[in-house]
Chain A
């Protein structure tokens, strides 16, 4: 095995929707690219997500959401990370997110938003090039 650091990613489902097929597809793709993926299951609060990310010392948090509550939940995660002095963790988002919402999410600190149809290779490349 290589001597470069293993990238650790937390895949989290904030909010109330119960659909995690997409999250699981991403988790598998990241696993197959050699990353360690911690999947925490459905219906997580931003507080739970941030605490898990800290205990697991992940490099990346991937938020998957289909409920439409991204404009509240994504920035809340960023806010909590700042409170915990953990803003070095890269946060990306995915799911059903309207194009017009993306600039606002990025301004709030989400590094990138991946909407349906994104090839998983694009997400892998993004993570690999953005994790120091």
Chain B
């Protein structure tokens, strides 16, 4: 097919069209993805996550500019929330990336979450593959502004930057489970604000307590994205962390477990859809029985499963 070749050639219109096919789950998209898959795996994926307004988009912009001075091609996927009520969305991350629009070596795509809850959209995973196949050296994925448990980005990125800003809560926030555990690099943005040093100390303390098993500790970097402060240091640290991951084979381990998760979730989805479709009448009948308290939901499940076998 034509679109595959043009995507491999890096044609932006075709890349954009293919991402739409994936988002809309058009008939042919799985076949196309099958064909481009062997061209993927070359790009480094960087995830950027953090609270709303912490400066993720501005950091993406500044980081991309540094990668461009090294002549690296950069694909950016910026995710913003879709309204669960209307299905609509306002995707505004491009506002902070205006100066990248006309750069030949940059491709930016905004996506709505479209019902997904983990801070990404489901089409994100395939959009990354498309950008990878199109020859991007780096793919930066900016999640929606997250709270405490939207951690899907670890399933997608080689390296995760967790962006925090001073003044967002006390030190207990930093020791809660979830979000703090996913950062490969911690970025304290808007570090000209009060409390930046304290936040750095709190993060470092938390990391000290947690990393007894290995000597590796994620770096904590202070930045002011809008003033370009700390960005060079950040990009050097990204390289450092990547190097460390490659030396210790951690990157491969990460990518392997990602593929495992992808296959399992594809299996789960397809199986469940199949079962629900094939046994819809039986399920309806069992619902009635459970409602009447003739049987319980666990037994209903067992009846269906025994039929599937």
Bound complex: CA A46 to CA B184 (Å): 39
Instruction: Return chain B residues, CB-CB under 8 Å to A35.
Output: 88
Q: Which residues of chain B come closer than 8 Å to A54, judged between CB atoms? A: 12-13, 16
Contact of A71 with B by CB under 8 A: no
Say yes or no for A55: interface residue by CB 8 A criterion. yes
Q: How far is the CA of A33 from the CA of B20 in the complex (A)?
A: 20
| Surface stretch bound by B, among A23-31, A61-69, A113-121 | A23-31
Residues in A with CB closer than 8 Å to B87 are: 1-2, 6, 34
Report B-chain residues with C-beta under 8 Å of the C-beta of A22.
none
**Overall SS of chain B's interface:** mixed
Total A-B residue pairs with C-beta atoms closer than 8 Å? 86
Q: Whole-angstrom distance between the alpha carbons of A40 and B94 in the complex?
A: 5
Residue-wise, chain B 91-102 has the 8 Å CB interface mask toward A (1 for contact) of 110110010011
* B88 interface neighbour in A36, A56, A86, Cβ under 8 Å: A36
Whether B115 sits at the interface, judged by CB under 8 Å, is yes
Q: In chain A, what residue has the closest Cβ to B101?
A: A48
User: A57: which of B19, B90, B91, B101 is its contact (CB, 8 Å)?
Assistant: B19
Verify if B108 is at the interface (C-beta below 8 Å from A): yes
Q: Please give me the residue from chain A that is nearest to B107 by CB atom.
A: A55
User: Are A38 and B102 CB-contacts (below 8 A) given A6-B87, A57-B16?
Assistant: no
Residue of B nearest to A49 (CB): B101
Q: Is the CB of A55 within 8 A of B109?
A: yes
**A37 beta carbon closer than 8 Å to chain B:** yes
A52 within 8 A of B: yes
CB-CB under 8 A from B89, the residues of chain A are: 31, 36-37
Q: Are A52 and B101 in contact (CB under 8 A)?
A: yes
B91 touches A36 (CB 8 A): yes
Sample (26) of A-B pairs whose CB atoms are under 8 Å apart: A1-B87, A1-B114, A8-B20, A27-B90, A30-B88, A34-B86, A34-B87, A34-B88, A36-B82, A36-B91, A36-B110, A36-B112, A38-B91, A38-B92, A39-B91, A40-B98, A40-B101, A41-B94, A41-B95, A48-B102, A54-B16, A55-B108, A56-B108, A57-B16, A57-B20, A84-B13
Q: Could you list 19 further interchain pairs (A-B, Cβ under 8 angstroms) beyond the known A28-B90, A31-B90, A34-B86?
A: A1-B87, A27-B90, A33-B86, A36-B89, A37-B88, A37-B89, A38-B110, A39-B91, A44-B98, A47-B102, A52-B101, A52-B108, A55-B15, A55-B16, A55-B107, A56-B109, A57-B13, A57-B16, A57-B19
